[in-house]
């Protein structure tokens, strides 16, 4: 696909499998490219499935001064760390998914507005503000079964951030929606965005951005949806994409 060469004013970067290498580290090459882009007045926005709690240190170390899209678009944070927007999952739905995970003996995690939960849930589950639920299932057959049950409900935005997991947000919530809101706040268009990612939770932003880039290690559907494929996350693929399309 070729949409011509849009003018890039914002770079949206997924974190795990994209900006970060296999040790969850940002390479020097990626750091340099981000700095160079910012010198040209291009905003760099992390757009991640992570919560603020597990993304914030990277924002600080990269000295990013722009918005932050977390939990697959469930939250948008402003340049001064203020909460701009938050979209919740019904606690009853979270309880249903928790029960589903128990029924299939699946590992799970969940993100509430105040905490990240791993293979455990709070006693006051129904009174928390929930942003996302995730399943980690090694067995294909069980994962397919869980996926079918989730899809049959028709209540959720379903994606993944690795081949072995399922990520569930409130319906209509994805990274593209989060970025649209950021673009509106900055007075730019999605056509001016370059989005880079590797997993199914990146497809919406990759297809809706002016320029969608898949990582060399991306899942096949992501590569098929993208305008271009860059290097792997272990080869500073983000820096290569920024060099090629922005610098």
Model confidence over 1-48: pLDDT tens digits? 444 678 999 999 999 999 999 999 999 999 999 999 999 999 999 999
Answer whether 0.85 is exceeded by the pTM.
yes
Same domain, 79 and 104: no
Q: Is 80 a catalytic residue?
A: no
Same domain, 164 and 216: no
Going by C-alpha positions, the residue among 220, 177, 225 that lies closest to residue 12 is 177
- Residues whose CB falls within 8 Å of the CB of residue 198, separated by 6 or more in sequence, listed in order: 14, 17, 18, 214, 215, 217, 218, 219, 222, 233
Same domain, 202 and 163: no
Q: Give the H/E segment covering residue 148.
A: helix 140-153
The CATH number assigned to the domain holding 190 equals: 3.40.50.1000
Same domain, 33 and 137: no
Same domain, 78 and 195: yes
Q: Is residue 2 part of a domain?
A: no
Same domain, 113 and 82: no
Of the three residues 170, 187, 204, the one that is the final residue of a domain is: 170
The CATH number assigned to the domain holding 161 equals: 3.30.1240.10
Per the structure block, which two tokens stand in for 131? 């942003």
Of the three residues 152, 170, 188, the one that is the final residue of a domain is: 170
In terms of DSSP bridges, do strands 165-170 and 130-136 run parallel, antiparallel, or are they unpaired?
antiparallel
- The per-residue pLDDT for 42 is 97
- The per-residue pLDDT for 217 is 98
Q: Give the H/E segment covering residue 126.
A: none
What 3-state DSSP class applies to 94? helix
> Which phi and psi (to 5°) does residue 16 adopt?
-70, 125
Q: What is the mean pLDDT of residues 46-52?
A: 97
Count structural domains, the chain. 2
Q: Is residue 30 part of a domain?
A: yes
Same domain, 178 and 131: no
Q: Confidence class of residue 56 from pLDDT cuts 50, 70 and 90?
A: very high
**Distance between CA atoms of residues 32 and 95, nearest Å:** 44
Per the structure block, which two tokens stand in for 105? 């003996």
Name the residue range of residue 156's domain: 91-170
Catalytic residue of the set 2, 14, 16, 80: 14
**Distance between CA atoms of residues 122 and 144, nearest Å:** 27
DSSP 8-class letter at 89: B
Q: What is the pLDDT of residues 81-127, one digit of tens each?
A: 999 999 999 999 999 999 999 999 999 999 999 999 999 999 999 99
Same domain, 132 and 152: yes
pLDDT, averaged across the chain: 96
Kindly state the percentage of the chain with pLDDT values over 90. 97
pLDDT at 50 exceeding the cut of 60: yes
Q: What is the pLDDT of residues 133-157, one digit of tens each?
A: 999 999 999 999 999 999 999 999 9
In terms of DSSP bridges, do strands 211-214 and 83-86 run parallel, antiparallel, or are they unpaired?
unpaired
- Residues whose CB falls within 8 Å of the CB of residue 112, separated by 6 or more in sequence, listed in order: 122, 128, 129, 130, 131
Instruction: Tell me the sheet residues that pair with 159.
Output: 167
């Amino acid at each position: 696909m070729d949409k011509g060469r849009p003018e890039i004013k914002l770079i949206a970067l997924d974190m795990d499998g994209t900006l970060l290498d296999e040790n969850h580290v940002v390479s020097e090459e990626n750091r340099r490219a981000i700095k160079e882009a910012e010198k040209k007045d291009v905003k760099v926005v992390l757009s991640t499935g992570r919560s603020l709690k597990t993304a914030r240190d990277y924002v600080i170390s990269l000295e990013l001064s722009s918005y932050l899209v977390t939990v697959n678009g469930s939250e948008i944070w402003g340049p001064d760390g203020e909460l701009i927007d938050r979209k919740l999952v019904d606690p009853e739905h979270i309880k249903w998914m928790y029960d589903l995970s128990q029924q299939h003996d699946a590992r799970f995690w969940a993100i509430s507005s105040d905490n990240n939960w791993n293979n455990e849930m709070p006693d006051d589950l129904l009174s928390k503000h929930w942003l996302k639920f995730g399943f980690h299932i090694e067995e294909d057959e069980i994962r397919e079964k869980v996926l079918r049950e989730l899809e049959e409900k028709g209540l959720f935005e379903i994606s993944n951030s690795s081949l072995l997991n399922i990520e569930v947000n409130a319906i209509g919530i994805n990274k593209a929606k989060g970025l649209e809101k950021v673009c509106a706040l900055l007075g730019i268009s999605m056509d001016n965005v370059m989005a880079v990612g590797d997993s199914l939770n990146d497809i919406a932003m990759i297809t809706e951005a002016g320029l969608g880039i898949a990582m060399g290690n991306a899942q096949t559907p992501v590569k098929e949806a993208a305008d271009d494929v860059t290097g792997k996350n272990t080869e500073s693929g983000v820096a290569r994409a920024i060099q090629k399309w922005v610098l």
